Structure 1
Amino acid sequence: MLLLDITLATFAYGLSYLIRFEGEIPPENLPALRNTIVWVVAVKVFFFFYFNLYRGMWRYTSIVDFINVIKAVTISSISIILIILFFYGFFGFPRSVFILDFLLTLFFIAGIRLGIRIYLSRKQTAFLSVFGKKDRKAKRTLLIGAGNTGEHILRELMDNPAIHMLPVGFLDDDRAKLGQEIHGVPVLGRIDQIEEIDVDYDEILICAPSATGAQMRRIVEICEPSGKPFKTMPPLGELIDGRVSLKLIREVSMTDIIGREEVRLDEEEIKKYLLGKRVLITGAGGSIGSELVRQISRFKPQAVALLDFSEYNLYQVAMECRGRSKEIEVEAYLADLGDRRPTRRVFEHFRPNVIFHTAAYKHVPMQELNPWEAVYNNVLAMKNVIACSIDAGVDKFVLVSSDKAVRPTN
């Protein structure tokens, strides 16, 4: 890249003279060009290094990189003009040459980076369509939500053609975005106009992790008549540090549609409660337990122990937890809490400070059909956990109830 920049900077300076003199440089101006071209290019390259033009990865050239190019070219041009003024008083140097040199250098240095960025990213947008490079395996994907998440997902889809998803358009209820484009992909209309848009698509991707349950229900109700499959992103609370990734795309679940109004928690107090603690979560593979695992991991406990009777559920939540928080010690225990001996071994081995007990059956009609299992798990097993907690000197024991305990008709 350095050699290419040197070549372009040299070419820009020489071309400036040719343009200024309409293709034929007068003999009296040639010495000025020959005597200055080496150090002029050297000044440019110095500022290219100073503004870190060679630290970025070509494939990920961004607005920040282009701003640095503008800074480097501008400061180098000003420096060259000041040097010419100080040492030569501009005698024998056409002033317009340096204006042309600034513009040409900026065009070449920024342009080559933009060209490399487009080539390496292999964007499936208008650029590729000009050359007819289309992925026949790609599913034509309609994106719901033209906000920050939608833009991020679009970039990831463009940068990862192996995903085989071809974005064909956005739908968004923000009228200010209608008719506009994001990276060459148009905003086709409002969400409720999905039946009216004149674009073929194979599937729908909902890019709205901050949507409430009511908003998700509305989107799903609008999308269902199309007969196309649709997927979504997890809620913001499930995203790792709020970061969006294609790996997190999944089918729309009942949890997404049901939703609840957001309850704002005092996260500082929660952090004080969990930071550096050894936390044991029983029933960690269940719907409530697994969500607790996700949320507790955010507050940097020293270690998290996951205990469940289901091997598959335990494996799933353990793998997810280890993937999210590599700096947190994660231990998984497969045990029946109704059996005191294995339960006691877990406590002796892990030595928890805090326990969240979520290993309880909660579906009332099912438990009415299986009353002995309900008593065994919800009463005797909990009695074992409490006894082991007392023996182990646990600081805090949190019994996570459910709405079924308060309102059985739910």
Structure 2
Amino acid sequence: MINKLRVHRKWYILSMDVVLSCIAFYFAFLIIGLGEIPPERMPLFLQALCVMAGVRLLAYSVSNLYKGILRYASIDDLKNIFRATSTGTLLFLLATYIIAHGVLKIEVPEYLKWAVIADYILNIILIGGSRFMVRALRTYRPMDRSNVSRVVIVGAGDAGESILREIQFNPNMNYEVVGLLDDDRSKVYKQIHGIQVLGTSSDLAGVLSRNQVDQVLIAVPSAPADLIRRIVEQCRERNVQFRKLPGVRDLIHGNISLSQFKEVQLEDLLGRDPIKLDLPSIGRFITDRTVLVTGGAGSIGSELCRQVMNFAPRQLICLDHNENGLYYLMQEFSGRADLNNVVPVVGSITDPARIDWVFRTYRPEVVFHAAAHKHVPMMERNKREAVRNNILGTKILVNAAHEHKVGKFVMISTDKAVNPTSVMGVCKRVAELVVRDRARESETQFMTVRFGNVLGSAGSVVPLFRSQISRGGPITITHRDIERYFMTIFEAVQLVIQAAAIGQGGEIFVLDMGTPMKIIDLARNLITLSGLKVGIDIDIEEVGLRPGEKMSEELWVHNEKLIPTVHKKINIALAEEGAEQTVLNGNISQILEELDFKDDARIVADLKVLVPTFTPVAGDNKRY
């Protein structure tokens, strides 16, 4: 039944095209005859018309003209019309030559040649015009003016053009495009699909003031952070909604549509460039190998698990003492075809017997050590546990990796380990030195990757601020001038894996964190992105520094120098040979012995011996 309908539809449209061709031929003769067909030319016209109708019918029927859908007529359809018309015209000329010279033994009249040229042009106009007229009629829907959303599109490139075209040919969306903006000044005041490029992004404020605009669509996948910040601020001042296309990395298939627009996120304001990875080198040390991730249920550990799975390891061992976190991670992996390659293991890195069992049972070839206590004020109140987990746990893992001849061991560290002022930070510094010292005497390639804060990790400032905003405020900051380095979890883990691929053993890698951001600016951005106004809807309250908290963080210590690697966002902090390593070797066991019987003052004293640059900060705010 469906095939019959298709056949009937084809012959119906084909018949209409032949009729249009006859009309075109008639008007071609009128044009050549200056508005009339002289009586003496009428017999030739009728004979030629019959031949023309026949060859057009033949040419059109064997062409691709009738495979498309009229309401979606495009340039490709116009190309098919051009090819079919050209074929028909050539067939007509061939038939005319054969009939004139072979049958009638006459010369082809000059005016007939000119008529054929005019007919060719008119055919393309009439048949092409009919297609686009049907498209216009079939796609036209009267817009519901009561519910229309007036939009400005920032970006007049391919993405902006695609969005504009989608809006124009899907009137049910009830969008009306006021205009476009683009920073390419050669496009300003030009038109795309009948809509004018009103200016550059710097003209947005004026465009919003002069026009009733409900929404701004940022159609620039690679939009820099400063552009997004400027647009967000101007939209918020005028209560205009704003959305943006995801980054180039997320537009996997390259097909851009209105449905892909998303709310502007805090990550969009960081201005971090997409990471380019050396995929072959990563594949060589992960693919078809057994990989162990400690802290696998945590923010960074779980992202490590996700990204490691993209490189098809033989087996992924996710170790964590948090059974609920492991359960949720396995639920996330439940739809994967390679789920059986993921093994959740509940256990603590401070349990030597459990760790030895894990290494004996699964024989990991690569270890990513992400398990750590990381909350600065909490560890100030629980110094013993900071030492136990961050130092003893690391030492147990390092020894197990050495004994079981693991190929690579990668520890995740923090900028708080540099010139530490907190127990958490100094414990991570000791852990760095434990890893580096073991690298000197082991076949295992031990290395550390050090970086700053990641957005959205559990217990970090961003979830705290969002929670405070949801409760109506205020947002609490410890100091208006305090600043931190930030990157996304996804980016940090990408660079950790890339650094691991580069590493040969003994390195402390330092990631390029960009420019530090003031925490007060972070708070203001979050308030703005929540659709609220600072000081009106949500207040920002300064509560004082917490114990162990710094005003700003550093990424390398005074006796380290940065050495670039093959990746522009990864450096090596090369330490001078000196007292720190010697002191560590002589005292690492001292702090771990009888740990449960030491008070906080003794623990701090032992840590100062291990890391002479450790300068505890008491702070005047006892909040967590």
TM exceeds 0.5?
A: yes
Render the CA deviation track for 1:164-189: whole Å, top value 9, x for unaligned.
65443322222112112333333222
CA–CA distance in 2 between the matches of 1:221 and 1:144?
A: 15
Question: Contact between 1:337 and 1:382, CA under 8 Å: does it hold in 2?
Answer: no
CA change 1:279–1:401 in 2 (3 A) is same
CA–CA distance in 1 between the matches of 2:130 and 2:360?
A: 63
Render the CA deviation track for 1:125-162: whole Å, top value 9, x for unaligned.
xxx5xx74236444333222222232333344455566
Question: Contact between 2:24 and 2:123, CA under 8 Å: does it hold in 1?
Answer: no
Q: Which residue of 1 aligns with 2:183?
A: 173
SS in 2 for 1:179: coil
Q: Which residue of 2 aligns with 1:113?
A: 131
Q: Which residue of 2 aligns with 1:399?
A: 411
Question: Contact between 1:306 and 1:314, CA under 8 Å: does it hold in 2?
Answer: no
How does 1:31-110 map onto structure 2 within 5 Å? Answer: 31-46=47-62, 48-49=63-64, 53-56=65-68, 58=70, 60-89=72-101, 91=108, 94-110=112-128
Q: Which residue of 1 aligns with 2:154?
A: 144
Output the amino acid matched with 1:252: V
Gaps of 5+ in 2: 1-8, 102-106, 420-424, 426-549, 554-624
CA–CA distance in 2 between the matches of 1:238 and 1:191?
A: 24
CA change 1:390–1:195 in 2 (3 A) is same
Q: Which residue of 2 aligns with 1:301?
A: 312
Question: Contact between 1:335 and 1:342, CA under 8 Å: does it hold in 2?
Answer: no
Q: Percent same amino acid among aligned pairs?
A: 31
CA–CA distance in 1 between the matches of 2:354 and 2:130?
A: 65
Correspondent of 1:338 among 348, 353, 356: 348
CA–CA distance in 1 between the matches of 2:191 and 2:331?
A: 39
Q: Which residue of 1 aligns with 2:23?
A: 15
CA change 1:204–1:282 in 2 (3 A) is farther
Render the CA deviation track for 1:181-210: whole Å, top value 9, x for unaligned.
333333222222222112212222222331
Displacement after TM superposition at 1:42 (Å): 0.5
CA change 1:219–1:100 in 2 (3 A) is same
CA–CA distance in 2 between the matches of 1:313 and 1:227?
A: 42
Q: Which residue of 1 aligns with 2:532?
A: none
SS in 1 for 2:206: coil
Deviates more, 1:304-313 or 1:262-271: 304-313
Larger Rg: 2
CA–CA distance in 1 between the matches of 2:143 and 2:277?
A: 50
SS in 1 for 2:213: coil
Output the amino acid matched with 1:301: A
Question: Contact between 2:287 and 2:314, CA under 8 Å: does it hold in 1?
Answer: no
RMSD: 4.7
Question: Contact between 2:366 and 2:408, CA under 8 Å: does it hold in 1?
Answer: yes
SS in 2 for 1:240: coil
Larger fraction in helix: 1
CA change 1:399–1:3 in 2 (3 A) is farther
SS in 2 for 1:9: helix
CA change 1:399–1:135 in 2 (3 A) is farther
Q: Which residue of 2 aligns with 1:125?
A: none
Question: Contact between 1:140 and 1:168, CA under 8 Å: does it hold in 2?
Answer: yes
Deviates more, 1:397-406 or 1:198-207: 397-406
Per the normalisation by structure 1, the TM-score is 0.72
Gaps of 5+ in 1: 123-127
Output the amino acid matched with 1:111: G
Correspondent of 1:193 among 203, 223, 231: 203
Q: Which residue of 2 aligns with 1:318?
A: 332
How does 1:125-136 map onto structure 2 within 5 Å? Answer: 132-134=142-144, 136=146
Displacement after TM superposition at 1:102 (Å): 1.9
Deviates more, 1:134-143 or 1:97-106: 134-143
Deviates more, 1:398-407 or 1:4-13: 398-407
Correspondent of 1:253 among 261, 265, 288: 265
SS in 2 for 1:234: coil
SS in 1 for 2:223: coil
Output the amino acid matched with 1:141: V
CA change 1:31–1:205 in 2 (3 A) is closer
Deviates more, 1:341-350 or 1:281-290: 341-350
Output the amino acid matched with 1:183: H
Correspondent of 2:45 among 8, 19, 29: 29
Per the normalisation by structure 2, the TM-score is 0.50
Question: Contact between 1:274 and 1:301, CA under 8 Å: does it hold in 2?
Answer: yes
CA change 1:327–1:2 in 2 (3 A) is farther
CA change 1:59–1:354 in 2 (3 A) is farther
Deviates more, 1:239-248 or 1:391-400: 391-400
Output the amino acid matched with 1:180: K
CA–CA distance in 2 between the matches of 1:303 and 1:200?
A: 58
Correspondent of 1:231 among 240, 243, 247: 243
Question: Contact between 1:364 and 1:404, CA under 8 Å: does it hold in 2?
Answer: no
